[in-house]
Amino acid sequence: MENRQSERTDGEPPAPVAATDRHISAVLNGLPAMVGYWDRELRNRLANDAYVGWVGRTPEQVRGLHMRDVVGEDAYRANLPYLAGVLEGRPQLFGKTIVNASGQTRQAQISYMPDVKDGSVQGFFVLVTDITDRVLAERREHRDVSRYRALASGVPSVFVLLFDADLRYIIAEGQELAAFGHTPADLEGRTIHEVLSPELAAELEPRYRAALAGEEVQWKRKIGQRTFRLTARPVDSEDGISAGMVVAVDITDRLQREQTWAALHEIATAVARSAAPLDISARVAAILQRLFAVDSAAVVRFTGSRSARIIAMAPRLPAEVDRNQTFEPGDRSAAAAVAFTGKPAIVAYSPEGGQVGEQLFAGGFRTGAAAPIRVHGELWGAIVLTSRTKDGVSGSMLDRLAEFAELVEIAIGNTEAWELLEHRASTDALTGLFNRRAFESRLARELEAADTSGAPLSLVLLDIDRFKNVNDSFGHPAGDEVLIEVAARLRETSRKGEVLARLGGEEFVWMLPGPTAGSVSYTHLDVYKRQERARRSIAAAPFAVVGAVTISAGVCELADAGKAHLMDRADQALYRAKRYGRNSTVRYRSGS
Q: Which domains does the chain have, with CATH numbers?
A: 31-130 (3.30.450.20), 135-253 (3.30.450.20), 274-424 (3.30.450.40), 436-587 (3.30.70.270)
Cα Rg, the chain, nearest whole Å: 33
Report the pLDDT value the prediction gives residue 397, as an integer from 0 to 100. 83
Q: Return the pLDDT at 101.
A: 84
Predicted local distance difference test score (pLDDT) of residue 1: 38
- Say how far apart CA 555 and CA 567 lie, in whole Å: 10
pTM of the model: 0.40
- Residue 105: what pLDDT? 85
Query: How far is residue 416's CA from residue 302's CA, in Å, rounded to a whole number?
Result: 15
pLDDT of residue 44: 94
Residue among 526, 262, 298, 280 nearest 419 (CA): 280
CA angle 226, 382, 258 (to 5 degrees): 35
CA 520-522-524 angle, 5° bins = 175
pLDDT at res. 407: 72
Low-confidence ranges of the chain (pLDDT < 50): 1-13, 15-17, 141, 144-145, 421, 516-521
Which of these, 518, 517, 509, lies nearest to 556 by C-alpha position? 509
* Cα gap 199→209, rounded to integer Å: 16
What is the structure's pLDDT at 22? 64
Judge if the upstream peptide bond of residue 315 is cis by omega within 30 degrees of 0. yes
**277-292 vs 252-272: helix axis angle to the nearest 10?**
170
Q: What is the pLDDT of residue 114?
A: 94
